[in-house]
Amino acid sequence: MMDYPTLGKDRWPAINHFIEVTKANREEDLIRKRHFFVEMCNLLDKLQEKANNLSNEQKAACGARGIIVDIVLKVNVERKEVILDQIYKYISININLFKEISDILRHNFPDFTMIIPTLKGYQLADEISRHLGNAELVCLCLKGDTHERFVVEKDLKGVTFECILSDTKRHYNNSGGIKRIEQQTRCGSEISMFYNGERGEEEVLWMEARVRLN
């Protein structure tokens, strides 16, 4: 029986996390699973240390019960998929959370695909683009002036991850640029994305995207 580090709550009270690896049946997969858990434990230790050293002002900005980050991550070894359901920082900390997690995933599961089922904010989309490359869209939900519409993969017709990032930057340039908007936005809040197509500018309420980890 292979020994795995525990990912329980007591060791990291400031991190709300759910991390699992399923369908790891072969010996080589069990070894990868263990290495992944060790590296994730080290990251959670770093995050908890940051939480322990917060000022009173920073602690007041945390989530309920002093939570500084949410992480929900599911790895299916059989399907070679990583589902990133949630990654969220309540306060500013000197750790690039997405880069740290994606580096760990690439180290242990380099031939897998990351799936983000409900990608909403520009910041995470930009992190994905910078650290993993441009993602492939599966579907997205758009909101115009008077209606919402759901677009599936076969009907995207040239709508790409890259063009949504570009349209979003163009949208915010009229208000001083992305950086200024981020500075004016409460830490942890998501900046909306926009798509400008045949129907004019529409807000991206959410999208499902996938990107290779290699």
Helix (H, G, I), strand (E, B) or coil at 168: helix
Model-wide pTM > 0.95: no
Lowest mean pLDDT among 2-11, 20-29, 50-59, 138-147: 2-11
Mean pLDDT (whole number) for 126-146: 94
- What pLDDT is recorded for position 135? 96
Q: pLDDT band at 187, cuts 50/70/90?
A: low
pLDDT tens digit sequence for 58-72: 888 888 889 999 999
For the chain, which residues make up each domain, given as ranges?
A: 1-111, 118-214
CB 7 within 8 A of CB 65: no
pLDDT tens digit sequence for 99-134: 999 999 999 999 999 999 999 999 999 999 999 998
Q: How far apart are CA 94 and CA 78, in angstroms?
A: 35
Cα→Cα distances 81→76, 133, 161, 205, Å: 5, 17, 20, 24
Q: Which of 120, 86, 87 is closest to 193 using CA atoms?
A: 120
Q: How many CB atoms within 10 Å of residue 90?
A: 21
Rounded to the nearest 10°, the torsion over CA 70, 76, 77, 82 is -50
- What pLDDT is recorded for position 91? 87
Query: In this model, does residue 4 exceed pLDDT 60?
Result: no
